[in-house]
Structures are given as structure tokens and as C-alpha cells.
Structure 1
Amino acid sequence: MKQAFTFLTVFVTTCQLLFAQSTKKQTDSLAHFDAYVQQAVRDWHVPGLTVTVVKEGKVLFKKGYGVRALRPASTAKTESVDTQTLFAMASTTKAMTAACLGMLVDEGKLRWDDPVVNYLPDFLFYDPAVTREVRVRDLLIHNTGVGNADVLWAAMQIPSDEILRRMRLIKPSYSLRSGFIYQNIMYLAAGKVLEKVSGMPWEVFIRTRLFEPLGMQRTKALFKDVTDANRAKPHVEVNDTIRLVDSPTEEGLVDAIGPAGSVWTCPDDVAAWMQCMLDSGRYNGKTLLKPATWAELFKPQTLVTDGQFYPTQRLTKPVWKTYGLGWFQHDYRGHRVNFHTGSLTGMVAIHGQLPDRKLAVYVQGNLDHTEVRHALMYRAFDTFGGLGIDRDWSRDLKQLYGGIRQQAKQTERKIDSTRVMNTKPSLPMTAYVGTYTDPLYGKADVTLRNDKLYVTINSLSTGYLDHWHFDTFRLRYDQFWNGKDPVSFILDTQGKVIKLICGGMEFTKTPDVTNKAASGR
């Protein structure tokens, strides 16, 4: 009896020691990770950032860093980021839209391989054969043959139904299911399918069927509903200076394609979504998705080409790269990674998983395309995934993306070197003035201001045109975050201006009705 008691005492003491050691090790890991994030935020000059880590059904780490918005030094008010600060989810929204469609699949109201035309008969592609063949699944995996069409929401303000109507005007970049080009508009179409089947708008469905069951009380489906003062503001780096983008119009553009990227959330909310996606669509006793449907979301659906993947592949060196339903995927040190980034003007996010380790990390920031998000995701995998790696991802990725920026600057300098100096426009400035239109791209108005050409594109983007050479000008956007774009005027064989080309958009000059009437024509 005494022997048994002694054994039990030793056993309990040993367990206590092991538990204490494990707890100390975890505490040390969290402290080191926290310090690492703080240093990364400084190194990448990010105004504000949040990090949330979930493992084995529990929130392991969540914290806010920095400020919601950079303010002048004279402003005394401090706007610190905390775990309730709302940031844009941007394209990490896509996984939510796919999950919402999965709920309809579970209810037998929809099948992944149903023809889209069955639900959206007016949604037409350039090629009628593609219109007939595109399935619901295709809307989620970037393989419809349509290239990037973000101009339809980022360069104009038109209703979502009009965006879909204009898709019939876009020529394919490749044949159906023969390639992969990342595509936002198809997720808008997926949201419209959801609306048709469920009888409620996407933003209502996602709130009632996903946010509310998960207890995501602060999360908003659309930017227009983000009225809370505790939310991050976007920033961009211009000429090595970080500037605040204080433009509700710019931020609200994404609402037109809501299912592709309009959700706003915070660490206190998004942790529930992370746990749900790690645990077969279950959360806190609720089952949002059937196991088979949840598995379908993460099943590799199509291959992703090198050109459409992230520069991080130069360091992670994946053997394979795929896309599921709203998730990029690749191998990392023998483990599968499911992840997706999100990028809007001045805002970034990333949601990553190591599913076999029941580990997920979510990072949000308010600096345009700051790739510290990737660095912190891989660092979290290494730290909390038990991979035994101590790589300085922040340093390595900063070097990688710094090199990419330098290459971009070299390319810009090379373009600048092609300028033919001491040339003049072919015609007087007044000849370029007028209205230019296109059924796909909308309208551009060119006027004279202060003896210089001034352009307004779709009543959204504006700026002066500086003469470059011959009939090419350079547009300096009033919306500084858009930078610069070349603008070329095309003349016909009679020397009259007939077209304007800007940023890949081509507009045709409309006849001057006033002048025609005055001349009797």
C-alpha cells in the first residue's frame, strides 16, 4: 500500500513538473513571438497590425499593434490598435462566400457542378459556349478563361448587376478550365447565385448564417456598414513616405463585389471563424457544414501556375501549388498549407492554416501590400507548429520584396529612357478636349484647366496630363495612391483625335455635336 502511494506521489509530481515545463515553454514561445511581431512592425513601417493564432480549438494568441491611422504630430489623440479594431478582410472573404454556398449544397438546394446559367440566365460570357458550360464550382477557382477584370469595380462606380452585364464584353485570356488567372468578378457572380437560391442578399445571408452563429458581433459584410470609430484606416507608401488614404469613396468601391472581398472583422471575432474552419465546420457545439462539404472546400480543385502564385515561392520552394474553394494551397516542410491573402488600397490580410497541426494564423494590417503578413504567417507556423525551425522570415521576405521593388524601379527608369525629348503634341491642346466613351470601360472627359489637359475617368479618377512625347502624356492622379499612368491619344489618317488609351482602357472620342450643328452638318 505504501509502495503504491509512493508511486502515485512520484507520478503526480512528475506530471506537475512536466506540465509546468510545458506551460513555461509555451509562455516563452508566446513572449518571443510577440517580441518578433513588434520588431517586424517596426522594420516594415506598418502603422497598425493585428495577429491572431488558434491551435487545437483554442485561441493561443491575439494582439493589436501600432495605430489605426497616422495623424499629424499636432494631433494629441492616440488611436491604438486593439483586438476589437476592425480591419478589411479583403479577399480572405472569398473562403466565407464558398462556405456559404456549401451550406446551400448541404440543404440540397444547390450542387457545385450546376450550370451557372440555370440560376443567372442573364450572366453571359464573351463566348456563348462558356456561358453554357461554366459551373458554380468554376466561379470559385479562377479558371473560367476571363482575365483580371478589376477595372469594372476599381476604376468605376457601377452597380453589381451592371458589372456582371459588362462581363460579356471581355474577351477571354484562355479557354475554359485550361489555365488559372485570379478573378474577383466571378465571386460576385457566386454571391448572386447564392442570392437567387436562398432568396436573400449575400450580405444578409452571411450575417445570419455565418456571423451570428459564430458570435461575430462586430464583423460587417460591407464597408458602408462599418460605422464604428475603432477601425483601421488605409495607408500607402509614396516616395518612401507612408501616407494616410482618407477616402471613404475609395474604400467603399469593394462593396460592389462584396462576396469577393468586402468583409471587415477584428481578432475578437475572426478567431471563431478560424476555429470553425479548422474543426470540420463546427464551432461551440454548432455545425455549420457537413463534413463532406467542409472537406470539399479544402480539396485541391485546380493547379496554380508559377506566374499566378506569390513571390514567397522563391523561398518556400513548394513542390505543388493548388487552389481549393477560396483557398490557395502548397506544401511546406512536408505539411499542407491552406491560405489566402487579401489586398485593398492600403489594407492587407492573410489567413493561413497548418491543418494537420490544427493551427491557424490570421494577420491584418493597414499598409498597402506589406508582405510582413507572409512573414508572420510562416513564423507562426514554425513557432507553434512544432516544426523546429527558427528562420527569420521577416528579414528574408523584406530582402526578397525589397529586390522586387528595386526591379520595378529599374523597369520604370528603363521606360523613362525611351522618352523622345523635345517633341510636341501633333495638335493644339483644344483638339484633345472632349468626351471619350466605351461600352466596357465607361467614360473619360478631357478638359482644359490652367492651360493644361485635365482628365476625369468615370467621375472617379482625375488628374492633370503632363506631356511626355508626341501624343503621349502622363497622368498624375489627384488620388495620389493611384500613382501615374501613361495616356496616349490616337489620331486617324486625317489627323483627328479618335481614341484615348489609359491603363489598358481604350475610349473612343464622341463626335462634337455642338460644332457639327454650328457648321451645318
Structure 2
Amino acid sequence: MSRTALLIGTALVGLLLSTAQAVARDVDVERFTAIVEEGKELWQVPGLAVALIEDGNVVFQRGFGMTADDGSAVDEHTLFSNASTTKAMVSAGVLMLVDEGKLTLDDPVIDYLPELHFHRDAQPQQVTVRDLLAHRTGLPSTDFWTFRQLMPLEEQVRKMRLVAPAAAPRTRLIYQNTMYELAGMIIQRLTGQRWDQFLRQRLWSPLGMDETYGTRGQIPEGKALVTPHDIVDGKVQAIPYDLPPNLEDAAGSAWSSVHDMSIWAQFLLNGGIASNGERILSEESIAAMFEPAQLVSADDYYPSAELTKPNWRSYALGWYQQDFQGRKIDYHTGTLDGLVAIIGLDRAEQRAVIVLQNMGGSELRHALLWEAMDKREVTARTDWLQGVFDIYAARDAKRAERWAGLEKSRLKRTRTSVDMDDYLGTYSNAVLGEVRLMRRGRDLILKTGMYEYDVSHWHLDTFLVNYVAWSSGTFADFGIDPHGKVATMEVFGQTFEKLAEQ
């Protein structure tokens, strides 16, 4: 057992001994339905699917609202993006290989991916498979590679040596999607199958999860799936999908229904045994999946902790964890543009909740998670809907206040140092790759490998960069060299050098 797990286990025992006996309860389906419907209106969610499991049995499973603007109704078989709730399934795939003796969690990653070279300061010989799955490599996010550049994974592997660590290994949780992509590579290296093909054969099909797919592009024609939505120009509108349909990303490209996610949750609550009695994951691997691997600071955790007030927070292999009313809760969210998800488990009480939504920025998922996990009498419970809504509304207000402050400090009627066309061209960063600033008609466009950003002059040599109407903007600051030429662009937290035109 790791030191992190031992510390948390000791704390949890103390909580269990000091916490009053929780009140057992039956699910009030009518009340819970009313809460979901109220939350749907509060967060303006077009459609969602929700499931509850009590004592290992599904007691609530249904859809609410519409899949898209055509009025198609959501039901328990409608397909939603799993997003990052995919990660626990990938962890399960790795653990199956552990059960077969093909690797151990504490093996160095480079034993299986010898072409991978971490930055010299990242202690490359020490980075293990467990570190990948627990977000504790110390490496900063490299989401730009996948979600902005659409950079092939092989190229990401080559560039990994350039990524300087933000912390020493195993000292801090830094959420790192690329590490799960590497875990997917390890599965393929050891089995000859892509991670999703392996999960289809070894996990999804044996469990009867026939409505689960590795990518949106794998969904057969005619299957009902949701369209992403967000607030655009003050009203809820459909928006484009975040990921290309055939991008196989072990960090979060799977799609599933609430029906199938209920099967997955029951399998986990049952300790790795399928409904037909077949053991798919060993007891040891189930224990390893949920053993706390890294303590998580309050700054790296969900804002809903303001209400749940955990005494400790940790991350296991694809699961966030905390104490709640004297019990250990394992859960994970998934987020893409216009699509969000959550799955939560109380393994001791054999309880689970799954929420899948087609509305970005909606934290109804957190409210329903904690409503489902709250074992107090109804009259003693927190108003989770309003409480979570208020937390995120306050964050939105602070964000709006920040932008108002930027607008107030913006220098008026300034000009650029050089002609507008002199900023145009290709800019390169050794880690992030190339981006191009170009004109389209009278508009300025910053093009990455996957997206095009609208660019407008802010003041002096600073420009506002906006991806889409529903996302926050960022700034690009241009550097002028002593010869009066544009030399650099600082954007996305990195410096890009302007390349000479061929």
C-alpha cells in the first residue's frame, strides 16, 4: 500500500468512527425526477440522461429533454460523449494486462515505449505506468497538441523530451491527458490492438455494453446521439463537435449511453465481476484502481468542494476521490465543448450515479452527484441545485468582472507599431508546433492544426484571440525587433518565433 493510501485510509477510519450512523434510505423517484427537471431548467440543459444505482441495482434510468434542435427525445439508449470518464475504462484495460502478467503498474514507461524520452528534469527512468494513470508525472498540460494542433500521437511522443516538468514526479496532481494517450499506446504495444478495440473485445462486449464506442465515428448510422450545445449570443444553441469523429483518444473519445454506463458502474460496484458471474478484473486490480495514488490540493480540485467540505482529496487510476459524510466517494467528470458527463461511486454503500448532458458549462452533473450521495433525511440536506449553481455563478461573475477590468484598462485609440499585414505569417514554437496568422477578407485569423481563431486589435501590439463565441478569449502580444520587424508572438502561454517567408 502506498503512503498516500495509508494516510487517507487512516483518516477515513477516523471519520467513520466519529461520524453518526447515516440514515438508510429508499430512493424517492418522484422527488429525484423533480430535482432533475428543475436543474435542467436552471442550467438550460437541452437534454440529459441520468441513472441511479442503489444496493447494486438500477433504480432510476431515463432521459430528459432533446438530443438536438430537431426535437428528438433523449432516452436511456441515447449516446453521449464519455469525454474523460473514458479514462477509468482505459485504466481497467491496463489492469487486465497486469492480471495477465504482461506488465506491472510500477514498471518504467520506457520499458514499453522505448522511443519515448521525457525531459531530463522529469527523472525519466522513474516515470511509471501508475504515474501516467494517476496524473502525477509532474508534467504540465500538453492539451494544445491534441485539442488545438491535432498533432499525431507519434509526433507528441517525439516532442515529449522538450516539455519541462512543472513539479517533481509524485508530488502534485497535474491533469495530463497525453499521459492517458500513452497508456493507450502501451495497450496497443502489448496486445497489437488499439485501446478501444481491446476494450471492445475484453470489457465492453463481455459486459454487454453494446452501446459503447471508441469514437463518435464508430457509431452506426441511425443510432441516436446528442448534439453539443452552449450559450451563444445569450441563448442556447447547437455548436460544432469538439473532436473529429475518428480521433481515437484514450484520454476521452469514447461515447456511450446511460444504459451502458450503468452496466459499467454495476461491474465496478461488484468488484470486477460481470452480471453473468464472470470475473473480468481481479480483486487485486480493482483494489489498485481505487487505491489513492496522489493527494490533491484544494486549488487542483472541483469548486463543489466548497459545499462538500472534504477532509482529504486524492486521485486514483482514473478517479477523483474524497470523503463525504464519513464515506469515500470515487468519481470523475468528462468535459468537451457542449458535452459533459459525470460518474460517481459509493462502493461501500453499493450506490452509483451517472449524468450525461449535451450542454457545455453546466454543472448540474455535480449537483445531481451530491444529491444522490447525500444520505441525510430530506429536510436536513443541502440544496445541491442552488448551492452548486451559486458557486459557478459567482465564478462566472468574477470572470466577467475581470474582463470588465481589462476593458477599462484598455488603451484607447492606439495604433500598431507596424502595418497590419506585417504581423501575418507563420510562427513556430519548439513544443507546440506551428501556427499561422492570415487574412480572410478583412478579418484576421489565427490558424492552428485544428481550429481557426478570430483575431482583433486590442491596443498597441496586443491582439484579442477568440476561438468561438462560447469560449473565453486570450491575448496575443507581438514583439518587434530592433529593425522594426515582427519577431515573436506570445500566445497560449508560450512564445512563438516568426519564420522568414519562403
State the TM-score, normalized to the length of structure 2: 0.91
Matches within 5 A, 1:148-187: 148-187=141-180
Report deviation, 1:169. 1.7
Which residue is 2:227 aligned to? Answer: 233
Letter in 2 for 1:355: R
Quote the residue 2:281 is aligned against: 289
User: Which string of whole-angstrom CA distances, capped at 9 and with x for unpartnered residues, describes residues 142-186 of structure 1?
Assistant: 111101111111111222222222222211111121211111110
Tell me the equivalent position of 2:325.
333
2:341 equivalent to 1:349? yes
Could you tell me how far apart the structure 1 residues matched to 2:115 and 2:124 are? Answer: 10
Aligned residue for 2:401? 410
Instruction: Determine the C-alpha separation between the residues in 1 that align with 2:90 and 2:454.
Output: 40
Counterparts of 1:63-82 in structure 2, within 5 Å, are 63-69=62-68, 71=69, 77-82=70-75
Partner in structure 2 of residue 456 of structure 1:
447
- The one-character-per-residue Cα deviations of 1:202-232 (angstroms, maximum 9, x if unpaired) are 1110110110011011110112212444001
Task: Give how far 1:450 is off.
Answer: 3.8
Q: CA deviation at 1:452?
A: 4.7
Structure 2 residue aligned with 1:146: 139
Structure 2 regions of 5+ residues with no counterpart?
1-24
Deviations 1:331-366 (A, max 9, x none): 101111110111111111111011111001010101
Match of 2:465 in 1: 475
Residues 254 and 261 in structure 1, CA contact (< 8 A), matched pair in contact too = no
CA contact (8 A) 2:218 2:246 kept: no
In 2, the alpha carbon distance for the partners of 1:64 and 1:45 equals 15
Q: Secondary structure at the match of 2:165?
A: coil
Work out which of the residue numbers 443, 465, 478 in structure 2 matches 1:489: 478
1:110-125 map, 5 Å: 110-125=103-118
- Matches of 1:391 and 1:129, distance apart in 2: 43
- 1:61 — aligned with what? 60
- Within 5 Å, give how 1:27-38 maps onto structure 2: 29-38=28-37
Aligned to 1:396: 387
Does the 8 Å CA contact 1:169/1:440 hold for their aligned counterparts?
A: yes
1:374 is aligned, of 366, 377, 390, to 366
Q: 1:474 to 1:281 in 2, by over 3 A?
A: same
Call closer, same or farther: CA 1:476–1:93 in 2, change over 3 Å. closer
Q: How much does 1:449 deviate?
A: 3.9
Deviations 1:367-386 (A, max 9, x none): 11311001001111126x88
Native 8 Å contact 1:97 1:259 kept in 2: yes
Shift of residue 237, structure 1, vs aligned partner: 1.7
Which residue is 1:4 aligned to?
A: none
Output the CA distance in 1 between the equivalents of 2:118 and 2:302: 28
Structure-2 change in CA distance of 1:497 and 1:105 (3 Å)? same
Equivalence for 2:5: none
Q: Which amino acid aligns with 1:173?
A: A
Change in 2 beyond 3 A, CA 1:450/1:289: closer
Deviations 1:3-30 (A, max 9, x none): xxxxxxxxxxxxxxxxxxxxxx847x11
Hey, what's the Cα distance between the residues in 1 that align with 2:33 and 2:323?
26
CA contact 1:276–1:282 (8 Å) conserved in 2: yes
Aligned-partner Cα distance in 2 for 1:312–1:348: 16
In structure 2, C-alpha distance between the alignment counterparts of 1:125 and 1:449, rounded to whole Å: 39
User: Greater CA deviation, 127-136 or 209-218?
Assistant: 127-136
Q: Identify the residue that residue 9 of structure 2 maps to in structure 1.
A: none
* Secondary structure, counterpart of 1:212 in structure 2: helix
Larger relative helix fraction: 1
The residue type equivalent to 2:338 in the other structure is: G
CA-CA distance at 1:470 after TM superposition: 0.7
Does the aligned pair in 2 maintain the 1:145–1:174 contact within 8 Å? yes
State how 1:191-202 maps to structure 2 within 5 Å: 191-202=184-195
- Equivalent pair of 1:146/1:183 in contact (CA under 8 Å): yes
Q: Residues of 2 paired with 1:370 and 1:408: CA distance?
A: 16
Whether 2:243 is the aligned partner of 1:251: answer: yes
Query: Counterpart of 2:75 in structure 1: which amino acid?
Result: D
Which residue matches 2:87? 94
Aligned counterparts of 1:378 and 1:361: Cα–Cα separation in 2 = 9
In structure 1, the partner of 2:495 is 506
Amino acid at match of 1:199: G
- For the pair 1:360 / 2:360, whether they are aligned, the reply is no
Offset, 1:480: 3.4
> How far apart are residue 254 of structure 1 and its match?
8.8
Contact 2:147 2:243 in 1 (8 A): no
Q: CA–CA distance in 2 between the matches of 1:266 and 1:448? A: 42
Change (3 A) 1:387 1:144: farther
On the 8 A contact 1:487/1:502 being kept in 2, the answer is yes
Give the structure 2 partner of residue 215 of structure 1.
Answer: 208
CA 1:388–1:357 in structure 2 vs 1: closer, same or farther (change >3 Å)? farther
How many Å separate the matches in 1 of 2:246 and 2:149?
A: 11
Q: Give the 3 Å change call, closer, same or farther, for CA 103–386 of structure 1 in structure 2.
A: farther
Q: TM-score, normalised by structure 1?
A: 0.87
Distance change >3 Å, CA 314–CA 482, structure 1 → 2: closer
Which structure has the larger Rg? 1
Unmatched 5+ stretches in structure 1 = 1-24, 72-76, 514-521
Contact 1:153 1:253 (8 Å CA) reproduced:
no
**CA 1:93/1:500 → structure 2, altered by over 3 Å: closer, same or farther?**
same
Equivalenced residue count is 476
* Counterpart residue number, 2:17: none
Deviation at 1:483, TM superposition (A): 4.5
CA distance in 1, matches of 2:338, 2:154: 27
Alignment partner, residue 315 of structure 2 = 323
Counterpart-to-counterpart distance in 2, 1:98 and 1:254: 21
One-letter code of the match for 2:240?
D
Q: Distance in 1 between matches of 2:329 and 2:297?
A: 17
* Letter of the structure 1 residue corresponding to residue 303 of structure 2: P
Shift of 1:430: 2.2
Q: Distance in 1 between matches of 2:411 and 2:330?
A: 49
- 2:459 maps to a residue whose letter is H
d(CA) in 1 for partners of 2:113, 2:288: 23
Any conservation in 2 of the 1:154–1:253 contact (CA below 8 Å)?
Answer: no
Taking a change above 3 Å as real, the CA distance of residues 43 and 493 of structure 1, as seen in their structure-2 partners, is same
In structure 2, distance between residues paired with 1:476 and 1:57: 46
Instruction: Please provide the CA RMSD for this pair.
Output: 1.9
SS in 1 for 2:77: coil
